[in-house]
Structures are given as C-alpha cells and as structure tokens.
A and B are shown apart, each in its own frame.
Chain A
Amino acid sequence: GAVVSQHPSRVICKSGTSVKIECRSLDFQATTMFWYRQFPKKSLMLMATSNEGSKATYEQGVEKDKFLINHASLTLSTLTVTSAHPEDSSFYICSARVIGTGAGGYTFGSGTRLTVV
C-alpha cells in the first residue's frame, strides 16, 4: 500500500536553530501533502496544504515564515521550523492524498517529535 516515510522520528534542537522534517512517498506520487501539528493530548491541527511545484497554502494563524514548506517533487515534501523556540515543541505529522482512491485515500507519516530546548 501507499507509504509515507517521515524523518526524523525524534529531534531535539537548541532554541534559535532550524529543523527540517522530511516526508517521502515511497511507492506513489504525492501530488498533495498536508502538514499537521499535534499538541499533547490534543487533536491534529492542519497547518498547511502543499501541492507539488506550488507554494503551500497555510491555515489561518500559522506563521508561514516560521514553518517553511517545500514540495519540490512528487515524492518529497519538507517542513522546516525556522528559529525554533520551546513553544514550537510538538508532534508534527505529514499526510498525503493517494490518487486513484477517490476522496477516501489518505496515508500518514509516523510523525516527528520536536523538542526545542
């Protein structure tokens, strides 16, 4: 089945540094990738939607200059948290539509636990 590989699974970084999270579609082409953020014991909040070759569309309240999303190819999308601060610590998950399965086909990465110290 369609698999999205997300790396790293865990990352600890110092405040002020940048962190890049990668999501790769292994056996399909991910035309559209979604990025979510999950706070502890909270729901997944949609941050942005990215289409290959286009600028990402960010949800209201999400800082596009802090959370840089690149979707340069059909198999790779990245989220870069720039100048990270402790409040950016969270669980980030990517998701891709699986074309050919109608509106019912989504696959998720395994998530990245970001801790900013």
Chain B
Amino acid sequence: AQSVTQLGSHVSVSEGALVLLRCNYSSSVPPYLFWYVQYPNQGLQLLLKYTSAATLVKGINGFEAEFKKSETSFHLTKPSAHMSDAAEYFCAVSEMNQAGTALIFGKGTTLSVSS
C-alpha cells in the first residue's frame, strides 16, 4: 500500500523566512504526489501535484516541491513566508484500490507564521 509520512506535525517560521515542509513517500510504483492546504473548517485546496513529468513542480501562492526518487521525498518549499500561509498542509499519494484511485493523506503539518 502507498503511504506518505510528513515529518514534523508543527512548523513555525517568521514572516519572510523560508518554508520547508517535509514529505516522504512509500510506493512500489512511480507515484503521483500532491500537496494540499486546508484552512480552518474548509475543504482542501490543491497547491501542486507531481504526475511523473518535471521533477520540480511549481504551484500556487509561490510554493514549489521537488520529487526526489533517490530520497523518496517530495518536500514543499516557499522562499518567503506570508502570514496568510498559516494553515494545515497535507501531502498525499494516489493509490489504486478495487473501486478506484483514491488519495491517501499524510498526518498533516501545521504551519505557523509569526510577524
């Protein structure tokens, strides 16, 4: 079964600092990987996705992630944090089951941004 592990349940940065959220995947086949952001009491918004094209994926709001097969990683970065980036971030991998291809999520990382 596919899975993702997000290292660090809580990351705190200062406004303007680099954001690095870590995600490692476990997959027996080339995976499709995703990063989502969730604001309180809301659904999920796709930040970016890797679907076996370019290994460096650029997403919305200045975020990007690099797929590194040798490290089985798909870490999310942003050069300069904004206060509005404070939210919950989820890494996910798509997994095919008998009924369809669902997304399997990591436990999430809470990003706090201080002024």
In this assembly, does B61 line the interface, its C-beta being within 8 Å of a C-beta of chain A? no
Question: A57 within 8 Å of B by Cβ?
Answer: yes
Contacts known (A42-B107, A102-B51, A104-B49); A49 close to B100, Cβ less than 8 A: yes
The total number of A-B Cβ pairs within 8 Å is 66
Q: Are B51 and A103 in contact (CB under 8 A)?
A: yes
Contacts of B43 in A (CB 8 A): 6, 93, 108-111
**Distance, CA A44 to CA B102, complexed state (A):** 12
**Nearest CB of B to A24, in Å:** 14
Q: How far in angstroms is the closest Cβ of chain B from A28?
A: 15
User: Contacts of A46 on B, CB cut-off 8 Å?
Assistant: 102-104
Q: Which B residues are within 8 Å of any A CB, using their own CB?
A: 32, 34, 41-44, 46, 49, 51, 90, 94, 97-108, 110
- Known: A43-B106, A44-B90, A104-B49. Contact between A50 and B44, CB under 8 A? no
CA separation between A46 and B101, bound complex, in Å? Answer: 11
B89 to chain A, nearest CB (A): 11
Interface SS of chain A: helix, strand, loop or mixed?
Answer: strand
Is A113 an interface position by the 8 A CB rule? Answer: yes
User: Shortest beta-carbon distance, B11 to chain A, in Å?
Assistant: 14
Chain A 65-103 against B: per-residue CB contact (8 Å), 1 yes, 0 no?
000000000000000000000000001010101000011
Contact with A43, one of B90, B94, B101 (Cβ below 8 angstroms): B90
14 contacts between A and B (CB under 8 A): A6-B43, A36-B105, A41-B110, A42-B107, A44-B90, A49-B99, A57-B97, A57-B98, A97-B100, A102-B51, A103-B51, A106-B34, A111-B42, A111-B43
